[in-house]
Structure 1
Amino acid sequence: MSSSERIKGIQVHRPIIYGSHARLLTDEEKATAPPGHTHRWTVFLTSATSPPPNKLPSGEIEKDDIDYLPGGEDDLSYLIKKVTFKLHDTYPQPNRAFDKPPFKVTETGWGEFVVQIRVQFIPESSEKPLTLNHPIKLHHWGVPIEGLVAPPTEGGVATGTGTANTSVVNTPAPEPIQEPTPAATPVPPEKKEDDQEEVKEEIIVTPAPIGESSNSVKEGEGSIVLEPTQTSEQIHPVNDEIIVQQDLQQQHTAAMTAILPVHSWQYDEIVFSDPPKNFLDILNEHPPKGLPKINRRAKTQRDEYDSGSTGQKKSKKNGRQSVLGSRANTEFQSPTPSVIGAGAGAQNGLVGEELGSADVPLEFSLEMERAEYNKLAEARRKIIDQMDKWRERLIAQEKELAKLKQEVKGI
């Protein structure tokens, strides 16, 4: 058998994690960052298993730093030749290529955009490059974490509030820059009469405060700001309890924005179908390290910071997590499945309820894999039960129809 001849009927899986991590800039970082930049972010691709956390002399597990990324236990250079991250065109050298781990890009910025991740495999694989897409998330979404203290306020309004369950970019536009700065990216383009399409791509929408609607449009410098219009809440008195709830919601969101980084990543598997013999030998020489049996870290940021929740309440929330359901939680979905050859890997759609940023797993484990399997098995059981009920109903209806036909013939 030739070393390049494909071996039929074999599929080899390699688990990966890809996505992004973002947080607000510190005061020290703001001093050296381009004007208007608000966040530090990292987009990455790595192996799925995370290294074990460090232990303190006391035996307690050391807490990971704020820039912690999951995975990375395996060196993927045995099968990956190059990873190229395609950033927004306004960044200097938007194509960032890496031929060895870590495969990641760290930058600062103020806006959200989709990063294209192109994975090229070693020549022995005889496989075409794989393209993944990931939308960088800078703001928290979903149900906020209970018990967080809101940051200091300015003029009675909490600063640094983010968005929740929205695809609208809620990022302040940078200050006007007289001359182009290499690192000041992405820079919103000026609106031109003959370039409407380009302007639409860079629209920055500022949501109206809670209780107001955004209908009228006003032009701004490099952005379009939606001005709030008068609503019934402005015309009629608003219940004090509603105002208090709105204030608490804003404080929770502001607290998450100020304290917690934004995790937006997903577990997936690259599947090599019918690999060439020499490539199969390479894969067999480098088996992936298995996922830990249970999570060695807090499962999510909610577990780590939601001190007001009871164990039962936490267990219910964590039950929403799953290996496939822990992917980037946005309206954007990659059109390219992360599957090589004719195999079928993890699907790109969300499974079950959409997770909030506080519910993205901090590491992946066999416990989560089993939970996902049980979840799918339960869904399959419910489908079979429904099919049985409809089958019984169909049989009963057919009997009733046959009886009516006999009655008609007898008339």
Structure 2
Amino acid sequence: MNRRTRIIVWGAAAALVVAGGAVTIARTSDADEPGPIVAATEFTGPPPAPPRTCGMSLLPVPDRLGGTVTAADPTGRIIVGQSYLDGGHKQILMWRDGKVRKLPIVGSLTVLTDVNSRATAVGMQDSPVGPAPMAYHGGAATMMATGGADGGEAAGVNEAGTIAGTLGQHPHSGVPARWAAPGSEPERLPLPDGYRTGHATDIDEDGTIVGDLGDRDEPYVWFPNGEHRPLPLPDVDGEAATSGSVRAVRNGWAIGEGDYSAEGGYPSYRSVRWNLRTGEVMVFDRLTRLVAVNAYGWWVGAAEGAILRTATTVTPIVGQKGKTIIIENPPPATHAATISDNGRTIAGQTPDDERAGTAVPAVWRCT
């Protein structure tokens, strides 16, 4: 899918509060369910003309709170995120075509990391053992099965509703997993000889899953035919990568990062884009950060400011400047977190013009 950085439940008929975790789960009525919308398209032809400019509008947030965007569906019509409450808790939000709903899910660890075009969303929530995988599907938010593991995280969901994530508390004991559907038991993904842990971060439409091997932090891919292998990290300026991971995958384009620090030195991360179909690997400058990728391999992220990059163009993502704040607590920067498959809708956050040190969710329409 296209997210990341790539929040759920409407209405409220019943609620459950887990002691010590401060998480609220509520079942919604059928009327609250957004229903199917246009599914993601197969993108096999040439890409469209790249956008030249992106205009921003703020997304509404209940109670005038600050907030962030965490994921969007491939069309860009459904966006999920959160606003911030007292005590470190977060209120989960969902926007559909720019209209916000405050969802009755609140927690300190709760976050949604992905959503598809049918409003099935996945992430993690507070539990007595720590973060635990969560899914919103069919009008309800539920804790997902962990196969006996102590919690975990659901990280990505495709249009078929198949989910990728991690069982256990990564990185110390986590293992990559796949769920056929939100209510299914998890299937542990195979690990190569000599490895005990791993982390699945996203799933493509054909079922390809990306992540890393936890023992040595090596980027990795699991294909739907059962094959699995490491993803290469080429040398840069004579330096070999010491570790790496994959953040997201969409239509065969995977993005992540590698650590190119000298032996014994401070980490020196570089963003990486893999073409899983051709084997091409692109390593970017140290100041470039890839956050989300779409079906054409276009990405949003940061390179001396938020940008949208295509094969031939770079488009600035310009937000609000926000109020000045003391240097000990620097203000939030404009951050692009998601990109739609057609490259015309980007979501993220920008500094609040009215409240110093606060970010507010925003969407950019590109033409």
Q: TM-score range by the shorter chain?
A: under 0.3
Greater share of helix: 1
Kindly name which structure, 1 or 2, has the bigger radius of gyration based on alpha carbons.
1
Greater share of strand: 2
Normalised to the residue count of structure 1, the TM-score between the two structures is 0.22
- More RCO (CA 8 Å, sep 6+): 1
